[in-house]
């Protein structure tokens, strides 16, 4: 009787995720780090990112997972005119958001977090898929040489 209250479906979980979706989430993760960094700078606090790393314990010889600090470089910088400039990076490559325009000009540092959130939403909506694909292909070329 309880199952009659649920909406049942025949959909099965996909066995793999599309490459563009994986790239989107990779970029969103980096944008989230930039949002946290910008928020910490605005609040006057210190931002410290961590990542998981597997190490072998020298005493027991067993593998274990530990959190280690990670360096996060800012994608934004301030100019003498008081404006802030933001470049979106995929890996080590700066992405062109429009033809010949890789940088976002922001009126002040107060709007930086808002701008990063707009970019995050654009990535999730797939608006930057072509730019992400171009940056990814550019990165792969560097490994094949």
135 - beta bridge partners? none
Give the pLDDT of residue 61.
Answer: 87
pTM above 0.75, yes or no: yes
pLDDT attached to residue 39? 92
Coil/strand/helix, residue 144: helix
Q: For residue range 25-83, what is the model confidence (pLDDT) as tens digits?
A: 999 999 999 999 999 988 889 888 989 999 998 888 899 999 999 999 999 998 888 89
Lowest average pLDDT, out of 13-22, 39-48, 84-93, 106-115, goes to 13-22
Q: How confident is the model over 123-143, as a mean pLDDT?
A: 87
CA distance 27 to 33: 10
Q: Which residue has the tokens 């005119």?
A: 81
Q: What is the pLDDT of residue 145?
A: 60
Asked if the model's pLDDT at residue 114 lies above 80, the reply is yes
């Amino acid at each position: 009787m309880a199952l009659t209250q649920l909406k049942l479906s025949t959909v099965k979980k996909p066995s793999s995720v599309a490459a563009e979706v994986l790239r989107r989430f990779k970029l969103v993760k980096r944008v989230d780090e930039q949002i946290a960094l910008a928020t910490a700078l605005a609040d006057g606090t210190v931002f410290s990112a961590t990542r998981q790393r597997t190490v072998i314990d020298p005493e027991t010889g067993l593998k274990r997972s530990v959190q280690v600090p990670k360096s996060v470089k800012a994608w934004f910088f301030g100019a003498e005119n008081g404006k802030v400039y933001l470049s979106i990076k995929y890996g080590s490559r700066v992405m062109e958001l429009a033809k010949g325009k890789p940088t976002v000009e922001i009126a002040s540092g107060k709007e930086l977090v808002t701008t990063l959130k707009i970019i995050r939403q654009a990535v999730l909506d797939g608006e930057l898929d072509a730019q992400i694909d171009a940056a990814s292909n550019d990165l792969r070329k560097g490994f094949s040489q």
